[in-house]
Amino acid sequence: MAGSQSFGKRENEKKKQAKRLEKQKRKEERQAGGTSSPDDMIAWVDEMGNIVDTPPEQRAKQEVKLEDVAIATPKKEDTEPEPLRGRVEYFNASKGYGFIKELASTEKYFFHITSAPANIAEGNIVTFELERGTRGLNAVRIVPANQ
C-alpha cells in the first residue's frame, strides 16, 4: 500500500515537481547567458532622482566665492504673538483649575487659577496666550475679552 496516495497529495507532488523543474530551467538560462561584469551592475541617479544606467554628463562646475556663502540663520522678526480668543468651557474654583476652548480651532487648553482673573466663570469669552507646561500647552495671561 505504499503507492496509495490520495488525489490531492499526487496533485501537490506534481506541482512541487513542476516548480523544481522551472527553477532549474531558469538557473540554467542565467548560467548560459554568461557572467555579468561589475560595470553592468552600476547605476546612476539623474537630476530628477531617477535611477539610470548611463553615467551623467560632465558639467562645467560653477566656482563659488567664500564671501558669498552665508553661515547664519536669518534674524527672527520681533513680532508680538497675537492673543488667542476662547470660551471658558469648565471652571472649578474650589480645585483651582479649568479649561478654555479656543474659538478658532476648538482646541481645549488647561489653565490654573493663578493665571486667570478673579472674576472668571464658565461661559466667559477671554483672550489668552499659550505656554508649554509639563503635560502640554497651558493657557496663561488670561484676560476677559471686550465684547
**Does the pTM of the predicted model rise above 0.75?**
no
Helix (H, G, I), strand (E, B) or coil at 43: coil
pLDDT at res. 12: 93
Residue owning grid cell 482646541:
107
Architecture of the domain defined by 84-144: Beta Barrel (2.40)
Q: Where are the domains of the chain?
A: 84-144
Give the model confidence (pLDDT) of 40-95 as tens digits. Answer: 778 888 777 888 877 777 555 678 888 888 888 777 777 777 788 999 999 998 99
Residue 25 predicted with pLDDT over 70:
yes
pLDDT > 90 in the chain, percent: 32
Give the model confidence (pLDDT) of 81-133 as tens digits. Answer: 778 899 999 999 899 999 999 998 888 999 999 988 888 989 999 999 999 98
State how far the alpha carbon of 92 is from the alpha carbons of 58, 99, 112, 116, 136, in Å: 72, 9, 10, 12, 20
State how far the alpha carbon of 98 is from the alpha carbons of 93, 118, 142, in Å: 8, 13, 12
All three cell numbers of 60: 562645467
Burial bucket for residue 139 (CB in 10 Å: 0-12, 13-18, 19+) = buried
Residue 10 predicted with pLDDT over 60:
yes
